[in-house]
Amino acid sequence: MKLIFEKGAAGRGCSILPECDVPAVDAGSFARKTPARLPQVSETEISRHYTALAKQTHGVNDGFYPLGSCTMKYNPKINEAMAALPGFTGVHPLQEPETVQGSMEVLGKAEQYLCEITGMDRMTFQPAAGAHGEFTGLLLIKGYHTARGDQARTKILVPDSAHGTNPASAAMAGFEVVNIPSGADGCVDLDALRAAAGPDTAGLMLTNPNTVGLFDKNILEITRIVHEAGGLCYYDGANLNAVMGVVRPGDMGFDVVHLNLHKTFSTPHGGGGPGSGPVGCKSLLAPFLPGKMPVQGPDGWQWETPAQSVGDVKAFYGNFLVVVKAFTYILSLGRMGIPAAAKNAVLNANYLMYRLKDHYTMAYNHRCMHEFVMSLEDVKHETGVSALDVAKALLDHGIHPPTMYFPLIVHEALMVEPTETETKETLDEAADVLIEILEEARRAPQSMHQLPLTTPVGRLDEVTAARKPVVRYDFSAGQAG
Amino acid sequence: MGSYISNSPDEQQQMLSAVGATDFESLYADVPASMLLEEGALHLPDGLSEMEVSEAVKALSAKNRVFPHIFRGAGAYQHYIPAIVTNVVSKEEFVTAYTPYQAEISQGVLQSIFEYQTMICELTGMEVSNASVYDGATAAAEAVAMCREKKRNVALVSAAAQPQVISVIRTYCFGNGMEVRLIPEKDGRTDLEALAGMLGDDVACVYLQQPNFYGCLEDGQKAADLTHGGKAKLIVGCNPISLGALEPPAAYGADIAVGEGQPLGMPLSFGGPYLGFMATGKALMRKLPGRIVGQTTDTNGKVGYVLTLQAREQHIRREKAGSNICSNQALCAMTASVYLAAMGWNGLSQAAKSCMANAHYLADQLSGIGYPRKHTGPYFHEFVTICPVPASKALAALAQHGYLGGLALNDREILWCATEKNRKAEMDELVSILKEVRGE
């Protein structure tokens, strides 16, 4: 499809602004000498351009999206409507508190509800995404140890099944990463954990349910080992959807958590953001929270800066409108609806696993939580068809593939997370398609490497893209080159 | 109670039976029993119908005061947002997609990011842009981290930068162990003489904001020459609207251009979601954090787009990655693209020139009634005035008339902002209100 720079013509454009009604000012030596080459297109062209791009984009609204670890649940439209209210979109972040009591109350109440769900005491909404939350949570741990004069705690323990953001966040926070191997059951190897935990342990980062979709039943022992070594326990909330309202990270022994409001709390992903990665903590870490916290007093909501704050991790108060969406979702579901969503997420995953388990090899033969991992290793050995091939085959059926090649501890992995918002027939259809693909792999393996056939483009050459990067349109060539 | 579970209770029972579970509780057999919450034990309100939720949230939004006249900036700016912008970014395909990992069914998002990267390069004069980061402040902090070298661990940051940006740079440096030193401010601009004395073998980079927090224009060329003389890198945090009228960072030699993209079509929204943009030259391309989209071809030679240069990123490099960023602000980046397409160069440059003209008109009028400008140098669309009455008094009087005045920096100084949204009649009324306050 043509780029927007290849459309339009000199002299075209939209009429947006009025003439300025005060005298012009000369910017003198600061004045720009060369114009930016922005598109010269009519509104008709813009509208059609983006409509065409939308048609080449698969969202949750277009079809099943069982992308493991990403919780691609349906995004309720009321959330969008509430976030678009002018009372929220029209206020400046630096208005006096008495003029933004509504926004502060949203933050305050969302904090209260999410603390209840996670078993934490305080929560900041400043982090803009999950990884940003991880970084923030680790800074709280760093602030805590630093304030105690405990400078020797330089290491963060991370299971080898963890999301890549965990070790990357630990490194950004200045910690050394110690990888903890998983046991044969996909859970934390307790002996390895005991061996690694010690006076240099700042903390442990863990997802529970973990990335293979299992609830680590040794969780109390795990957090106890870390605490006894003097470390703190960090909960990566990526997989909270399996357990929200059923069991709380705070009760598992965690000291600090981050949530992904764009996953668990139904705010959309926007093609890669904006998300929201609030960080909750037990009271021992609350003095180190970043930014300003809303506090309700006799004269309404006021801002309070935590006493030993690590500083700001973002300007202002985070992705506020995303918080409005999650807040709307919590009000909708309430006390009973939150656990009901979790339970149905687990049920849907188990049902889909049940439909597939006689055909595909499950990485772990165990009842799963909200997601499960299949290994295509045997299929690849037998037919040459890889997890990638199966994923690409799904594209021709209008299904977004599961997460591929993750977690790293499972070879040829496909990680499937259907979420609670899908119907039984969607799961049945997806199961039928996956079984059919497997039959096709055995019947005509060679043809599988050519898929997909029905998408706007076929398989793309990623190697050349990385070796000879073309990352912007080249105007001089008259085409991207 | 609201619910988005699709299956009926009967279907749920059928599925439970199919998987061999007697009830939902048995699905959680691995969770230690002592830890399980009792049914209904959460201290949350009961769920509500959609109509009730709508009423409750609207009631909260009504507790906010939306000012019809806004003269406050300081890092968040009110601009006119063309209707097409809101329309395009509300398309469900864009709203509900994930990061475009599966390129074949994500060409729309990927191409839009490629176009966004091109527009950011054009605006800043740079060669490479990433797909966005969280906001202008985190973009600045990530840029500082990009510049770190083994023996260069110090970041020199202008004291005339936005306070939140300085704070976020400091926080990131608390994490990664870099040292932050502030370059002092003199008459509202970065003291470049002081900078000359601060550069040394341990300095990795200099961060300058253009226009700066006080609205003043910095001598970018001189700052770049000094910085490069010290073999450090110059990062410039720029207001994207200003680039419709002012020289872009690349023109005076900046190594990295970053900034807050909110003015490009995003409403004020109490501080977010906003957009952090980052652009640089080819030399630093592989140090850029975040997603980058590249052009390539498919098996039939057809042009397409993919996430590229992923060897930089956390999911490949884990603890050796330069940044942990994963989700960014994709839909906000698209907002900026549609805004720039709708405005075009003519529209953007008109917006920038109107901002500048309005701010100068307002400053002159305020000066005429005894609210003189504090600084002497050139400025863009923000400026600081000395207040002859307590700032709180002046702002309260304005608020009574529906005006959100400038930001009080202290009780005798106000930082004002005017954009293309502010018309002459509105500014004249503001001036007459303040004149009255002074006369009381």
Whether residue A214 is found in the same domain as residue A193: yes
Whether residue A157 is found in the same domain as residue A291: yes
Report d(CA B155, CA B179) in Å as an integer.
6
Query: What is the number of domains present in chain A?
Result: 2
- Domain span holding position A441: 338-464
CATH number at residue B74: 3.90.1150.10
- Whether B28 maps to a domain, the answer reads no
Angle between helix B107-124 and A43-55 (nearest 10) = 140
Instruction: State whether residue B354 sits within 8 Å of chain A by CB.
Output: yes
Provide the pLDDT for residue A478. Answer: 60
> Which residue in A has a C-alpha nearest to residue B13's C-alpha?
A347
Q: What is the DSSP letter of B165?
A: H
Return the half-sphere exposure (C-beta side, CA atoms, 13 A cut-off) of residue A3. Answer: 28
- DSSP-H helix ranges across A100-218: 101-118, 130-147, 165-172, 190-196
Whether residue A412 is found in the same domain as residue A304: no
For residues B49 and A333, is the Cβ–Cβ distance under 8 A?
Answer: no
- Whether A51 maps to a domain, the answer reads no
Whether residue B262 is found in the same domain as residue B179: yes
Contacts A212 to B, Cβ<8 Å? none
For residues B132 and B119, is the Cβ–Cβ distance under 8 A?
Answer: no
Whether residue A230 is found in the same domain as residue A180: yes
CA distance, residue B392 to nearest chain A CA (Å): 10
- Domain span holding position B410: 69-79+345-439
Residue B22 has pLDDT above 70, yes or no: yes
Instruction: State whether residue B323 sits within 8 Å of chain A by CB.
Output: yes
- Whether B350 maps to a domain, the answer reads yes
Whether residue B297 is found in the same domain as residue B369: no
CA distance, residue B342 to nearest chain A CA (Å): 6
CATH number at residue A354: 3.90.1150.10
Provide the pLDDT for residue A397. Answer: 97
- Whether A471 maps to a domain, the answer reads no
CATH number at residue B267: 3.40.640.10
Contacts B430 to A, Cβ<8 Å? none
Nearest to A100 among B7, B64, B104 (CB): B64
- Whether B12 maps to a domain, the answer reads no
pLDDT in tens, B241-280: 999 999 999 999 999 999 999 999 999 999 999 999 999 9
**Interacting residues of A322 by C-beta distance below 8 A, sequence separation 6+:** A83, A261, A262, A267, A274, A275, A276, B272, B273
pTM for this predicted structure: 0.98
Whether residue A277 is found in the same domain as residue A356: no
Strand order in the sheet with A122-124: A122-124, A279-281, A256-258, A232-236, A201-206, A155-159, A176-180
| Torsion angles phi and psi, residue A117, rounded to 5 | -70, -30
Contacts A103 to B, Cβ<8 Å? 64, 270
Whether residue B259 is found in the same domain as residue B185: yes
Contacts B47 to A, Cβ<8 Å? 331-337
Paired tokens of B326: 């994963």
pLDDT in tens, B175-224: 999 999 999 999 999 999 999 999 999 999 999 999 999 999 999 999 99
Nearest to A27 among B119, B245, B338 (CB): B245
Paired tokens of B353: 């020139």
E strand or H helix at B415:
strand B413-417
Whether residue A146 is found in the same domain as residue A277: yes
- Averaged over B155-170, what is the pLDDT? 98
Whether residue A384 is found in the same domain as residue A449: yes
Which chain B residues in 183-212 lie under 8 Å from chain A, judged by CB atoms? none
A-B C-beta contacts closer than 8 Å: 679
Nearest to B171 among A269, A313, A426 (CB): A313
Nearest to A116 among B44, B99, B423 (CB): B44
Strand partners, B260: B276
Whether residue A280 is found in the same domain as residue A135: yes
**Of A298, A314, A333, the domain-final residue:** A333
CA separation, residue B113 to residues A70, B118, B207 (Å): 21, 9, 26
Return the half-sphere exposure (C-beta side, CA atoms, 13 A cut-off) of residue B98. Answer: 24
- Whether A29 maps to a domain, the answer reads no
Residue B80 has pLDDT above 50, yes or no: yes
Contacts A403 to B, Cβ<8 Å? 101
Whether residue A208 is found in the same domain as residue A293: yes
What burial class does residue B401 get, using C-beta atoms within 10 Å of its C-beta: 0-12 exposed, 13-18 middle, 19+ buried?
middle
Confidence of residue B62 (pLDDT cuts 50, 70, 90): very high
**Of B297, B319, B338, the domain-final residue:** B338
Confidence of residue B87 (pLDDT cuts 50, 70, 90): very high
- Whether B27 maps to a domain, the answer reads no
Nearest to A38 among B43, B300, B348 (CB): B348
Q: Taking CB atoms and an 8 Å limit, are A1 and B111 in contact across chains?
A: yes
Report d(CA B209, CA B164) in Å as an integer.
12
CA distance, residue A150 to nearest chain B CA (Å): 16
- Whether B49 maps to a domain, the answer reads no
Whether residue A347 is found in the same domain as residue A402: yes
Whether residue A320 is found in the same domain as residue A367: no
CA distance, residue B180 to nearest chain A CA (Å): 13
Instruction: State whether residue B112 sits within 8 Å of chain A by CB.
Output: yes
Whether residue B394 is found in the same domain as residue B282: no
- Whether A180 maps to a domain, the answer reads yes
Q: What is the DSSP letter of B249?
A: G
Whether residue B297 is found in the same domain as residue B424: no
**Widest distance between CA atoms in chain B:** 82
Which chain B residues in 45-84 lie under 8 Å from chain A, judged by CB atoms? 45-48, 50, 53-54, 56-58, 60-67, 70, 72, 74-76, 78, 80, 82, 84
Query: What is the number of domains present in chain B?
Result: 2
Report d(CA B285, CA B281) in Å as an integer.
6
Candidates A119, A71, A137; CA nearest to A329 is: A71
- Whether A457 maps to a domain, the answer reads yes
Whether residue A327 is found in the same domain as residue A342: no
Contacts A42 to B, Cβ<8 Å? none
Q: How would you classify the pairing of strands B413-417 and B403-404?
A: unpaired
**Interacting residues of B61 by C-beta distance below 8 A, sequence separation 6+:** A82, A85, A86, A87, A88, A102
Collapsing DSSP to helix, strand or coil, B84 comes out as helix
Whether residue B135 is found in the same domain as residue B184: yes
CATH number at residue A126: 3.40.640.10
Report d(CA A162, CA B315) in Å as an integer.
10
Contacts B1 to A, Cβ<8 Å? 332-334, 336-337
Contacts B20 to A, Cβ<8 Å? 354
Paired tokens of B289: 């954090």
Give the Cβ contact number of residue B55 at 10 Å.
Answer: 11
- Whether B425 maps to a domain, the answer reads yes
Whether residue B191 is found in the same domain as residue B282: yes
Nearest to B46 among A85, A335, A424 (CB): A335
Provide the pLDDT for residue B213. Answer: 98
- Whether B168 maps to a domain, the answer reads yes
**Of B319, B338, B357, the domain-final residue:** B338
- Whether A72 maps to a domain, the answer reads no
Whether residue B296 is found in the same domain as residue B372: no
Q: Taking CB atoms and an 8 Å limit, are B109 and A272 in contact across chains?
A: yes
- Whether A230 maps to a domain, the answer reads yes
CA distance, residue B38 to nearest chain A CA (Å): 8
pLDDT tens digits, chain A, 481 residues: what are they?
999 999 999 999 999 999 999 999 999 999 999 999 999 999 999 999 999 999 999 999 999 999 999 999 999 999 999 999 999 999 999 999 999 999 999 999 999 999 999 999 999 999 999 999 999 999 999 999 999 999 999 999 999 989 999 999 999 999 999 999 999 988 999 999 999 999 999 999 999 999 999 999 999 999 999 999 999 999 999 999 999 999 999 999 999 999 999 999 999 999 999 999 999 999 999 999 999 999 999 999 999 999 999 999 999 999 999 999 999 999 999 999 999 999 999 999 999 999 999 999 999 999 999 999 999 999 999 999 999 999 999 999 999 999 999 999 999 999 999 999 999 999 999 999 999 999 999 999 999 999 999 999 999 999 999 999 999 999 987 644 3
Region of poorest pLDDT, from A209-218, A469-478, B139-148, B334-343:
A469-478
Residue B440 has pLDDT above 90, yes or no: no
Collapsing DSSP to helix, strand or coil, B102 comes out as coil
For residues A446 and B270, is the Cβ–Cβ distance under 8 A?
Answer: no
Whether residue B192 is found in the same domain as residue B88: yes
**Of B338, B354, B375, the domain-final residue:** B338
Whether residue B400 is found in the same domain as residue B379: yes
**Of A314, A333, A352, the domain-final residue:** A333
Contacts B345 to A, Cβ<8 Å? 35-38, 40
E strand or H helix at B156:
strand B154-158
Contacts A102 to B, Cβ<8 Å? 60-64
Contacts B271 to A, Cβ<8 Å? 93, 315-318, 320
pLDDT in tens, B43-60: 999 999 999 999 999 999
- Compute and round to an integer the Cα radius of gyration of chain A: 25
Candidates A121, A93, A123; CA nearest to A107 is: A123
For residues A400 and A63, is the Cβ–Cβ distance under 8 A?
Answer: yes
Whether residue B302 is found in the same domain as residue B350: no
Provide the pLDDT for residue A73. Answer: 98
For testing contact with chain A, the best of B105, B110, B316, B417 (most A CBs within 10 A): B105
**Interacting residues of A17 by C-beta distance below 8 A, sequence separation 6+:** B80, B347, B350, B351, B354, B420
Whether residue B74 is found in the same domain as residue B93: no
- Whether B21 maps to a domain, the answer reads no
pLDDT in tens, B383-421: 999 999 999 999 999 999 999 999 999 999 999 999 999
Q: Taking CB atoms and an 8 Å limit, are A313 and B138 in contact across chains?
A: yes
